[in-house]
Amino acid sequence: MHSFYKLVLATTTLVGAHSPRRHFRPINTSTDKVYTIQDLYVGDGFFDDWDFYTGSDPTGGNVIYQNKSAAQSKGLAYVNDSDYSTVLAVDSTSTVAAGGDRDSVRITSQNSYNGGLFVMDASKMPVGCSTWPSFWTVGPNWPYGGEIDIVEGINDQAKNQMTLHSGTNHTCTIDTDDSDEFTGSVLSSNCYSTETSDSGCSIMDNSSTSFAYGFNDAGGGVFALLWDNSTGMSMWHFARADIPDDLTAQVPTPSTWGTPSGFWSAKTCDITDNFYDQQMVIDTTICGNWAGGDAYSKSGCSGKCTDMVANATNYVDAKWVINYVAVYQ
């Protein structure tokens, strides 16, 4: 089944174990840099190289993360037969008491990375009051191995929030003097998690199609992270109609993409020492220590966040529909 996508995966990826390296050498940053796919997660084989997390939610969310077998049998993790897209969903059919926990999915890539170009193409992302979807990477011994939030937001938030979290052993702040190097708006410039109540340093995308309903109404799009240890972290969002041709052709040239939505300069953040051995994570939690509490009451959503958990119909559209995830080197 899905033999076409198995063929694509076999012929365009370099599959195999990748040995983690504590210090990655800076990647080539010349304008003619040619990126090639190292890992392509797509179609029938999407779940082969991801682990399903089943522990308690570290953010205190009202979810029960399912293992692979349970998630697939409950229809929370599957590949569409029609277009080979991958769906990761929150349960929207079960009866759950107010303040209870609803089934959801969190997956982590088996491979870890120390740089490169990371791309997610999705046609839909989870939406709705109480939801907290994210596509991110995380290193060992959090926060000292670092965390990179590529896609994240809560409740009815309209724009994507991009964030770096670091430990305090090495310098990491947003270079606000380089504000012309990105189009987003700085929310906080200190990346040290322990000094910012774990909020890190964030940049809000200014595009109304970068998150939630606006993203879905635009037919989805692409999120990209260029992690270059010598220059910094750059993040872009492209609505479906604006995806660069070179990215569609799997020969991406980020130097031609224009100013990124977010940029964290290596001049003010020690990228190599703060971010290493990162694994990708895709998940959707509910409420928790950000989407719940004060943030929920200020969001315009009705009632209490924990009461919303009982409303199964609220989660009908709380799902990722992912066309592919790719890592280029």
Give 302's Cβ-side CA count (13 Å radius).
Answer: 3
Which one-letter DSSP state was computed for residue 269? B
Query: How far is Cα 71 from Cα 158, in angstroms, rounded to an integer?
Result: 28
Query: How far is Cα 227 from Cα 271, in angstroms, rounded to an integer?
Result: 9
Which helix (DSSP H) or strand (DSSP E) does residue 9 occupy? helix 3-12
Cβ(265)–Cβ(259) below 8 Å: no
Strands 201-204 and 279-286 turn out to be unpaired
Query: How far is Cα 88 from Cα 76, in angstroms, rounded to an integer?
Result: 6
The residues that are catalytic are: 147, 152
Query: How far is Cα 213 from Cα 101, in angstroms, rounded to an integer?
Result: 24
51 vs 17, 54, 69, 87, 138, CA distance in Å?
A: 15, 9, 11, 15, 14
Cβ(235)–Cβ(260) below 8 Å: yes
**Residue 75 has which token pair?**
């229809």
Query: How far is Cα 186 from Cα 179, in angstroms, rounded to an integer?
Result: 9
Which helix (DSSP H) or strand (DSSP E) does residue 72 occupy? helix 68-73
